[in-house]
A and B are shown apart, each in its own frame.
Chain A
Amino acid sequence: MIFGVTGAALVALGLYGLVTQPALLRKILAFNLLGGGVFLLFGVVARRGAVADPVPQALVITGLVVAFAATALALVLVLRLFQITGAATIAEDKTPP
């Protein structure tokens, strides 16, 4: 149960970071924090029975691999944006280059 609350707290923290951090790199970090919290909620639910339920655990492993691929793609997009425009955020009101 402690870890259930931990997972909920991580989701809240990650969501806050995702909303308030302007830099894209930090948004990606926050998104991964959020993802870790969601996976943890899965893990806690899987642990509730007498024996650990392998189905949610397998889903989390699948999720971790997909999250890694998504992070890699997001970072390459951020780097490409930076190379082309020199921007580290996606703020709308910045002066055109």
Chain B
Amino acid sequence: MSLVLDVMLALAVIGVAGWTLLVRGNFPAVIGFVAYGLLLALVWVRLGAVDVALTEAALGAGATGVLLLFAVVRLRGGKAEIDAATPSPPQRVAAAILCGVVGLGLAVAMLNLPDPAPSLAAEATRHLPLLGVGNPITGVLMAYRGLDTLLEAVVLVFAVLAIWSMAPDRRWGAIPGPLFPVQSSGPLSLLARVLPPIGIVVGIHIAWVGADAPGGKFQGGTILAAMGILAWVAGLWRLPPVASRGLRWAVVAGPLVFIGVGLLGFVIADGFLSYPPGFAKPLILLIEAAMTLSVAAAIVLMVAGPPERPA
């Protein structure tokens, strides 16, 4: 039964991916991509990786989908140009054959992996009690590979900076993104009023339980960001201008706390980003809390894009 389910799921993912590539319109392609992300999240559940499934559904399908839809609405025309730049059928056949070879090579490699499988699962689980967290993925993200996660947190800040720097000079310090009129009736207006109170609680809950169960700062932060975007698109919440100090602090708070705790490790533990025994969990939760805020702020700002309207 589960085999049939897996095969159907796999075919659906590949089918939707192919459709996303082949369909002519940009809008259906983006919808196809969102469906692909959600199906992929189901695959992650089947692989027992619920943390990844949550991230894929929230970030890979949801937030990326919103970003792409914003871009589709703004990119107009260019059909003749696109047709002129389309590769000729022989070129496409050659590309298809070469890409097929790459895929085949990967498939063969996947079917001939070494046995027994190397695994760090036992190692990762053994030291969890020292950290006081129950979710091994949080243990990896915050302790064993803490430096990776710190760099990733900094990547988000730089991505926001890079996006802001696309603004023309005269718009620097202005409000990011388009202005949405206030929706006083209709489904969007209702959703934007009813959903955020629930969504904010769910987002904080997902971030909070990340220490012991599937969830964490990225998943929770994305849900919080989605609520902010919903209220913004419905005209109920105005984004602050990029010159706003509060906004800037919200974006950098997480990485700063992360670096601060990392440096503290020199004084109270064995070095950068190491936690003193018995006091690891409070520090991890402190970083997670600050990071949840920064992830949410960064995602809203990345979706909104460069500053466009004078404050």
Interface string of B18-56 (1 = CB under 8 A from A): 101100001001100100110010011011110110011
- Bound CA span A8–B55, Å: 21
B85:A8 contact, CB within 8 angstroms: no
Q: How large is the interface on B (under 10, 10 to 19, 20 to 34, 35 or more residues)?
A: 35 or more
Main secondary structure of the interface of B (DSSP, over half): helix
A4:B75 contact, CB within 8 angstroms: no
A73:B159 contact, CB within 8 angstroms: yes
Shortest CB-to-CB span from B36 to chain A, Å, is 7
User: Is B243 interfacial (CB 8 A cutoff)?
Assistant: no
Cross-chain contact of A45 among B68, B78, B85, B113 (Cβ < 8 A): B113
A12:B26 contact, CB within 8 angstroms: no
The A/B interface has a contact count, at CB < 8 Å, of 272
Contacts of B306 in A (CB 8 A): 76, 80
Main secondary structure of the interface of A (DSSP, over half): helix
Knowing A13-B21, A54-B137, A91-B81, the reply to whether A60 touches B52 (Cβ < 8 A) is yes
A51:B110 contact, CB within 8 angstroms: no
A53:B119 contact, CB within 8 angstroms: yes
B33:A33 contact, CB within 8 angstroms: yes
Cross-chain contact of A65 among B29, B120, B156 (Cβ < 8 A): B156
Number of interface residues of A (CB under 8 A): 76
User: Is B302 interfacial (CB 8 A cutoff)?
Assistant: yes
- Bound CA span A93–B64, Å: 31
B82:A41 contact, CB within 8 angstroms: no
A61:B47 contact, CB within 8 angstroms: no
Contacts of A36 in B (CB 8 A): 17, 36-37, 40, 56, 60
A10:B13 contact, CB within 8 angstroms: yes
B95:A20 contact, CB within 8 angstroms: yes
User: Is B124 interfacial (CB 8 A cutoff)?
Assistant: yes
Interface residues of B in 99-119 (CB under 8 A from A): 99-100, 102-107, 110-111, 113, 116-119
User: Is B141 interfacial (CB 8 A cutoff)?
Assistant: yes
User: Is B309 interfacial (CB 8 A cutoff)?
Assistant: no
Q: Knowing that A61-B52, A79-B74 touch, tell me 15 more A-B residue pairs with CB under 8 angstroms.
A: A3-B10, A3-B43, A4-B111, A8-B107, A13-B14, A22-B82, A29-B30, A39-B52, A64-B59, A64-B60, A70-B159, A73-B163, A77-B166, A79-B75, A88-B77
Q: What residues of chain A have their CB less than 8 Å away from a CB belonging to chain B?
A: 1-17, 19-23, 25-26, 28-30, 32-33, 36, 39-41, 43-55, 57-62, 64-73, 75-80, 82, 86-89, 91, 93-94
Q: List 6 A-B contacts (CB under 8 A).
A: A8-B106, A11-B102, A13-B17, A19-B95, A26-B29, A39-B56
